[in-house]
Structure 1
Amino acid sequence: MIPLSLLSNLMPPLTSPPATGVELVNIYGLVQTFIILLLVATGVALVSRRLGFPYVIGLVVAGLLIPKPTLPSNVGLNPELVLNLFLPILIFEAALNTDASRLKRNLLPIGLLAGPGTIVAALITGGLFKLAFVWPWIPILAAAVILTITDTVSVIAAFRVVPVPARLSTIVEGESLFNDAVALVLLGLITTVHSQGAFTPFLGLKQFLIAFPGGILLGLGLGYLCIGLFRQLEDPLSSLLLTVAVALGTFQVGTGLGVSGAIAVVTAGLVIGNWGLEHETTTAQSKLTLFSFWEYAAFGVNTFIFLLLGIEVDPKFVIAAVPIALLAIVMYQIGRAAVVYPFLYVLRWFDRPIPIRWQNILIIGNVKGSLSMAMALSLPRSMPFRTEVITLVFGTVLVSLIAQGLSLPWFVRKMKVAQQSESGLQIQTLQLNLMTAKAAQAQLKELLQAGSLPQPLHDDLWNQYQARILTAESELQSICKSDIQFPDDLGQRLYQNRLQRQLILAEKSAVTNGLRRGLLSPEIAEPYLQDLNRQFIALGDD
């Protein structure tokens, strides 16, 4: 059994009881601190790019090195701020930029890992923690749930250094979108059992049945309401403000109604990003303004989360916590491996198989982040061994971020999952020319109809872009029909597979529509759908 009391004296100040009374805020001092942190973050960005290590790791290290006496006492990682402001921003931005069709194609592995996978991994990790720590089951399970979720920011940062297949990236991002919500519901269930002093399977089932369907329905309702209002607004800045209100408001409404606010925000973001912004009345300027703002918002939130994470902790604590943190990492990685390998082995009977190298990355990339620390700090103060749980989580998160985060790009390279090839880059370049030229033509059409562009100039510019389109289409067609073998024909095969998947999904959508409207009978439609499913599964991974 391992005591954690030796580390408690080095814990962050947020573990102490909150101050009472009204506290005057030194605005001038906070503005100065804000400027200093921005300059530190800029310096970290420059150094990390030069040295080739992940930006978020550099922020944590920089925060550890900042002298604490130079900062105001009220600067730190506030759990309420992270859960109620930062988390909705990060979730909404990720959902807004997620292609629903890609998510749908990988719904089975994402659902398995984020749903039952999170629960099983938490139970296995909790059992191992029980062998190591002399705690009751409530804090044991709380620590296990908190350390089950993955910090996708660090993983995606590694993927940007070493490119990986699109499907693997989609699975990682999709799992993170939903496993955070599952963990929050599980932690809510644990705190409810703590406060009531009893647990029944009916209580757990009831909480899940209310949290998830309720969150989805709330997200759908507010998402489509936002779309209706969005199409009435012509000002891009007003549309932007509306999405901010929906992102933050959905989380608060969901929490107030007792459903999963995180699931509601994910659903609303998917609806707005995939259906709200694709309407013909949405201008290119509105889309550009919206996506640019949310990209900056997520980047800024991540910057301050990881920087404050490093500021929050005494460097001596990190050194002292290394042995216990390493043991905890081994334990939760065992829980992760016990889920990933069996679950994805069974998956091959129902969906396209996940290569074993991808599975290895899903395990090694199981990095912890700031949400785990915020969840630990949000535990009820009446919970026994709360300080020890926070100590374990803080130490584990910091060691995981630095050790796993720095080694992940090297490991991804060793797995050799990157599938960039000469032909693949050629195809992507042609696709880039097609997408940009057609987007420009769409904007030219809008300008002409609005009277902002004379017809002769419109025709001249239109023909220039049309020439680019015809050239790119001709070269793509020759690639698809060519009998010549590429030196590395991987890019050609991937392009054809992705194209075939999109066509199959379009066929399935048409058949499903026909069934719903009564135009097709099940006797005719079902065999055709089964054949389409077999073709889809037979296609290679992208």
Structure 2
Amino acid sequence: MPIAQAPALITNQQLTPFLLVGTLVLLTCVVAVRFAVRSGLPTLLIYLAIGVALGDGGLGIRFSSADLTQVLGYSALVLILAEGGLTTSWRSIEKSVAPAGVLATVGIVVSVLVVGSGAHYLLHLPWTIALVLGAVVSSTDAAAVFSVLRRVPLPPRLTGILEAESSFNDPPAVLIVVALADQAAHGSSGPLWLLALTAIGELAGGAVIGAGIGWAGGKLLPKAASTSSGLFSIGILALPVLAYALANQAHTSGFIATYVAALILGNLPLPHRPAVRGFAQAMGWVAQIGLFVLLGLLASPGRLVHQLVPAVVIGLVLLLVARPLSVLIAVTPFRIPLREQAFLSWAGLRGAVPIVLATVPATAGIHGVDWLFDLVFVLVVIFTLVQGPTLPWVAQRLGLGDVHHTVDVELEVTPLEELGADVLQVQIGQTSQLAGVEVFELRLPTGADVTLVVRDGEAIVPAPDTILRHGDQLLIVATPQSRARAEARIRAVSEGGRLAEWHRSPPAGRDAPAAAAGRGVAPGPRDGERPTTGPRRGPVLPRHVRGAPPRRREPR
């Protein structure tokens, strides 16, 4: 067909109102975040409400395509998982990976069986449809949990389990829903061991593909395209999407490939880390806003009313039986205390993934299941309203909210390619033991030095005896060879104080004492040696350690 005669999906006359409505919706969603933070409600409820208001029950925008919803939903989930992996610190979830992994796999199976049994006996659904329903509502949502826990600090292990589980359980949930829906639609059946083996193989294959893409891309892309922070950020976000496409093409789990690739990339020493994180978070927000508004458009208030009672029944089975039993079976071997298990049970909020998965049965060819989307939609809204605002109260009642846990120190790295150096930005948190340490006591390796301290909005050029405080931001310039050692030293002092690793000499070269003396910093002792003295400060040990009263001076 000639280009001039090709039909247009949208005309210039339709473009203007489309952009007008789209930008107004986007700005409304951005402003709504402040209201969500103050009210304690997850932002997903506000975005869903905006979508419903734009649909049949409000402004009258008609949208009823389950196929398009599923395609756009999967696309949004890829970006959301990529953002989650790129912004997740492996150190924060390392000790929680094992229990979270079991909870995201074994726990999902338990939840599917319990909810399926409840749907069969209480709602009198056929076993095939009941199990599909159980699989659809089995996945939790991290954004819904952490949006209401910003002001409620939790133990690091508990936070890590919630964060890792919500990222791990999406791929198994998708595989189970697709398999059960295909069986219900086409009558294809097979032994359970074969289904389990297939799921394990797809997850393992996706993880391998994601790991390969993440590692290879993280090594090659900085060498090929690191001059522009904007282009580099686009390239980094494209790698998890590539992992999804390759894994799906290989008939493995694309979602687990996306998350694994992003997690590896997010924990490699990449340049332009602030730009990469900012771009990934922005794309994640756009994906969330678009997904929730789209799901709200697909819902019809007139249909939702009829699913109120069934949604409450299934939600109670999920909240009071399935989730606690899943947590008990999955994490008890890891010696998780019962009070933390109770919080994990209550914190299993559902979000976008179950609503997107509710479109799978209809697109798979199962007849007469249009009500499933409405039931899951109502369930997510009601139980998010019940669980979300009460999570801080539950944490306090269980004695978990009193645990004082904040970020001790944050580091960001910005490259200076032309100068052959990196700039480390250090944020000193409220629990960091960097506070009270003088600059010379950091004992940074040769090639790294503190060049600026920003305190209460005022920039200070530090002297060796400048005392660091909570809330300070430090700018450290380091050579590429010393950057990793400087980061390690900052983290060590933040966790162990000024005497951290005192028995070890700083990882500098043979001329470390001379280089340190040139900066007015006394080097640390070598193994088996007594502490040495520097040219400006005398003994390196702090005065109050040597027996003299501590001497505090304001920064110069």
Q: Tell me, in whole angstroms, the C-alpha distance in 2 between the residues paired with 1:43 and 1:288.
A: 23
- The alignment yields a C-alpha RMSD, in angstroms, of 3.6
| Per-residue deviation, residues 359-405 of structure 1 (Å, max 9, x unmatched) | 12211122221211111112245224422333322221222233322
* 1:218 equivalent in alignment to 2:209: yes
Where do residues 125-524 of structure 1 align in structure 2 (5 Å cutoff)? 125-194=115-184, 195-232=186-223, 233-234=225-226, 235-275=228-268, 278=269, 282-283=270-271, 286-333=272-319, 334-348=321-335, 354-379=336-361, 380-421=363-404, 431-432=408-409, 449=420, 461=451, 467=463, 471-472=467-468
The answer (yes or no) to whether the contact 1:251–1:264 under 8 Å persists in 2 is yes
Q: Give the partner amino acid of 1:330.
A: L
In the superposition, relative to structure 1, how do residues 311 and 193 fare at CA in structure 2: closer, same or farther (>3 Å)?
Answer: closer
Q: Give the partner amino acid of 2:323.
A: R
Q: Give the partner amino acid of 1:368.
A: R
User: Which residue is equivalent to 1:70?
Assistant: 59
TM-score (norm 1): 0.71
Q: Tell me, in whole angstroms, the C-alpha distance in 2 between the residues paired with 1:443 and 1:206.
A: 45
The answer (yes or no) to whether the contact 2:40–2:147 under 8 Å persists in 1 is no
Q: Give the partner amino acid of 2:260.
A: T
CA drift at 1:217: 1.0
Q: Tell me, in whole angstroms, the C-alpha distance in 2 between the residues paired with 1:196 and 1:416.
A: 50
The answer (yes or no) to whether the contact 2:82–2:259 under 8 Å persists in 1 is yes
TM-score (norm 2): 0.69
**What 5-or-longer segments of structure 1 have no aligned partner?**
1-20, 349-353, 453-457, 475-494, 505-542
CA drift at 1:236: 1.8
| Per-residue deviation, residues 245-280 of structure 1 (Å, max 9, x unmatched) | 2222221221221101111111101111112xx1xx
The answer (yes or no) to whether the contact 1:219–1:267 under 8 Å persists in 2 is yes
Query: Secondary structure in 2 aligned to 1:160?
Result: coil
Q: Give the partner amino acid of 1:57.
A: L
The answer (yes or no) to whether the contact 2:205–2:253 under 8 Å persists in 1 is yes
CA drift at 1:82: 3.9
The alignment-based identity, stated in percent, is: 20
In the superposition, relative to structure 1, how do residues 468 and 204 fare at CA in structure 2: closer, same or farther (>3 Å)?
Answer: farther
| Per-residue deviation, residues 135-173 of structure 1 (Å, max 9, x unmatched) | 322211111011111122110111113222222111011
In the superposition, relative to structure 1, how do residues 67 and 188 fare at CA in structure 2: closer, same or farther (>3 Å)?
Answer: closer
Query: Secondary structure in 2 aligned to 1:302?
Result: helix
| Per-residue deviation, residues 289-348 of structure 1 (Å, max 9, x unmatched) | 110011111122222323333343233444443322111111112111112124322322
The answer (yes or no) to whether the contact 1:92–1:269 under 8 Å persists in 2 is yes
Larger RCO (alpha carbons 8 Å, 6+ apart): 1
Q: Which has the higher strand share?
A: 2
* 1:47 equivalent in alignment to 2:35: yes
Q: Tell me, in whole angstroms, the C-alpha distance in 2 between the residues paired with 1:294 and 1:323.
A: 39
CA drift at 1:36: 2.4
In the superposition, relative to structure 1, how do residues 216 and 71 fare at CA in structure 2: closer, same or farther (>3 Å)?
Answer: same
| Per-residue deviation, residues 220-261 of structure 1 (Å, max 9, x unmatched) | 111122113322122222222212322222212212211011
User: Which residue is equivalent to 2:474?
Assistant: none
The answer (yes or no) to whether the contact 1:217–1:264 under 8 Å persists in 2 is yes
User: Which residue is equivalent to 1:528?
Assistant: none
The answer (yes or no) to whether the contact 1:139–1:383 under 8 Å persists in 2 is no
In the superposition, relative to structure 1, how do residues 47 and 97 fare at CA in structure 2: closer, same or farther (>3 Å)?
Answer: closer
User: Which residue is equivalent to 1:114?
Assistant: 104
In the superposition, relative to structure 1, how do residues 342 and 23 fare at CA in structure 2: closer, same or farther (>3 Å)?
Answer: same
The answer (yes or no) to whether the contact 2:210–2:256 under 8 Å persists in 1 is yes
In the superposition, relative to structure 1, how do residues 50 and 137 fare at CA in structure 2: closer, same or farther (>3 Å)?
Answer: closer
In the superposition, relative to structure 1, how do residues 53 and 117 fare at CA in structure 2: closer, same or farther (>3 Å)?
Answer: closer
In the superposition, relative to structure 1, how do residues 34 and 116 fare at CA in structure 2: closer, same or farther (>3 Å)?
Answer: same
Q: Tell me, in whole angstroms, the C-alpha distance in 1 between the residues paired with 2:246 and 2:466.
A: 50
In the superposition, relative to structure 1, how do residues 382 and 307 fare at CA in structure 2: closer, same or farther (>3 Å)?
Answer: closer
Q: Tell me, in whole angstroms, the C-alpha distance in 2 between the residues paired with 1:51 and 1:314.
A: 26
User: Which residue is equivalent to 1:34?
Assistant: 22
Name which of 41, 57, 62 aligns with 2:45.
Answer: 57
Q: Tell me, in whole angstroms, the C-alpha distance in 1 between the residues paired with 2:386 and 2:304.
A: 12
Query: Secondary structure in 1 aligned to 2:327?
Result: helix
Q: Tell me, in whole angstroms, the C-alpha distance in 2 between the residues paired with 1:298 and 1:230.
A: 22
| Per-residue deviation, residues 406-456 of structure 1 (Å, max 9, x unmatched) | 3333333433312455xx77xx6xx54xx56xx6xx76987754799xxxx
Query: Secondary structure in 2 aligned to 1:416?
Result: coil
Q: Flag the structure with larger Rg.
A: 2
User: Which residue is equivalent to 1:17?
Assistant: none
CA drift at 1:175: 0.5
CA drift at 1:126: 0.9
**What 5-or-longer segments of structure 2 have no aligned partner?**
1-5, 424-447, 454-459, 471-491, 502-556
User: Which residue is equivalent to 1:16?
Assistant: none
